[in-house]
Amino acid sequence: MSIRIESLSGPSEAERQCVRRILQRYNLAHFETTDEQEFTIVARDDELTACGPLPLEPETVADASAASAEDATLSEGSTAPGDIISAKSTTSPGGNDEAPNPGAESGQIIGGIYGTMFGQWLEIDVLAIDPAHRRQHLGELLLRQAENTARAHGCRHCLLCTFGFQGKDYYPRFGYREIFHIEGYPKTGTEHWFVKDL
């Protein structure tokens, strides 16, 4: 047997997939369920041309704080989804990834939410709204649609985490309670974990 330890630089998705499969094989022997489905729900602006993902732009601390404050001022009232967004929900059985095709639908993606439904848990990985389209209840609409999708799938709880400058004051308004937070992450910030009973 000849074993070597190798450090990889940059993206290494093929190697990560191999490690994930090793973990999955181990988990299959111990988990009481293997029912895991990924989901994606997006908001589109039909007045904008679909042109793929928005470009990444530098964000200052001031920009991030302003965006967070703007999101935190969203009211609990909800506008009818048809007035604002065309929401598209897709699930991937067993967590199988499919290559995204942003141009397959009309309208530019201006926000979205995605995560995983695993057993009786909904795990939200990302909820993001383009700054130009905030204060239109899109975050609330996407969050509620994700929760409804999870309930229909049999989920009873939701788990998510967020940074201090993001949604730590936003999620409690929709019934989420903080169960844990980390100080000094990644350097001087905080990371907050929330749960909610569905």
Query: Which comes out higher in pLDDT, residue 137 or 71?
Result: 137
The better pLDDT of the pair 55, 120 is held by 120
Kindly give the pairing relationship between strand 157-163 and strand 121-129: parallel
- Report whether 162 contacts 171 (CB < 8 A): yes
Q: How far apart are CA 169 and CA 167, in angstroms?
A: 5
**In Å, what is the CA distance from 149 to each residue of 14, 31, 72, 132?**
31, 23, 24, 27
Q: What is the pLDDT of residues 77-107, one digit of tens each?
A: 333 333 333 334 455 444 444 444 444 557 8
Q: What is the pLDDT of residue 72?
A: 41
Domains defined along the chain, listed by start: 33-156 (3.40.630)
Question: What is the overall mean pLDDT for the chain?
Answer: 76
One-character DSSP codes across 118-158: ETTEEEEEEEEE-GGG-SSSHHHHHHHHHHHHHHHHT--EE
pLDDT band at 5 (very low <50, low <70, confident <90, very high): confident
Res 69 pLDDT > 50: no
φ, ψ (nearest 5 deg) of residue 27: -65, -35
In this prediction, residue 99 carries a pLDDT of: 45
pTM of the entire predicted model: 0.66
Higher-scoring residue by pLDDT: 32, 180: 180
